[in-house]
Amino acid sequence: MFKVLKKILQYPRLTQDYPRKPIDSSLFIGKPVIDGSKCSGCGECTSRCPSGAILENSETRIPEINYSTCIFCTLCEEVCPEGAAVMTTEFELAEKNRDEESYEELGKLVEKKIKKLFGRSLHIREVDAGSCNGCDYEINALNNPFNDIERFGIHFVASPRHADMLLVTGTASRNMELALLKTYEATPDPKLVVAVGACACSGGIFRGTYAVRDGISRVVPVDVYIPGCPPRPQAILYGILKAIDRI
């Protein structure tokens, strides 16, 4: 008993207050941006991007980044001779459509949203549709004491028949295409689908190969896209909140 009390006093409460309070993202690797005023148009970032996420605008000649394909590898920042490409700390990137530029504020508390929409907890089924497990590790981290997603009334379930939402990772590989489709069909309506990571959004670095479907939207309808390789747990939580707003 003494040892338990000693640990309680020794270690403070670790669970974060996000999204109630902004989180310190100073050490985060967020989305890359390109400063058009500094860019010389050399094309170094375009030619070196491993996922082909950077394309040159034919009118402005300034490179633009497709965040659903970007794997956040920081290479563009490293190779840019002018320092125009930089990695930011912005991680709240989930979008309802891949072409959206802006994103809305979190707004109301998560618990109130869930109770208003469902009258109970939100049940999520995680689906690996052919990932490297990087995004799956970040989803698992949502359940650790630091993130503690259950405090918002969000629970992961073992069966899609008990789920309100599918969190899907991976490229939708040919071998997992049928399994993903069956999981989607087994989930009762109304259901939400969230694509987690660059692979689920667009196929990522595997896009265009014979073994993948270039993102899960080729197999099932998607409500929210969360870019990143992999996205942080906070970014995934933000995407879940955005998906709830869509009902």
* Run means of pLDDT, 10 residues per run, the chain, 247 residues: 73 71 81 88 87 82 84 89 90 64 38 64 91 92 85 88 94 92 93 93 89 90 92 88 76
Q: Is the overall model pTM greater than 0.75, yes or no? A: no
pLDDT reported for residue 164: 92
CATH class of the structural domain 32-87 = alpha beta
CATH class of the structural domain 110-246 = alpha beta
Contact yes or no for 68/227 (Cβ under 8 A): yes
**Which residues fall within 8 angstroms of residue 63, CB to CB, at 6 or more apart?**
34, 39, 43, 45, 46, 54, 55, 56, 57, 85
Distance CA(44)–CA(200), nearest Å, equals 27
pLDDT reported for residue 138: 93
pLDDT reported for residue 112: 65
Q: Could you give the residue range(s) of every CATH 3.40.50.12280 domain in the chain? A: 110-246
pLDDT reported for residue 22: 80
Determine the residue type at 61: R
pLDDT reported for residue 95: 67
Q: Could you give the residue range(s) of every CATH 3.30.70.20 domain in the chain? A: 32-87
Return the exposure string of 194-215: e unless at least 16 CB atoms fall within 10 Å of the residue's CB, then b. Answer: bbbbbbbbbbbbbbeeeebbbb
pLDDT reported for residue 219: 94
pLDDT reported for residue 163: 93
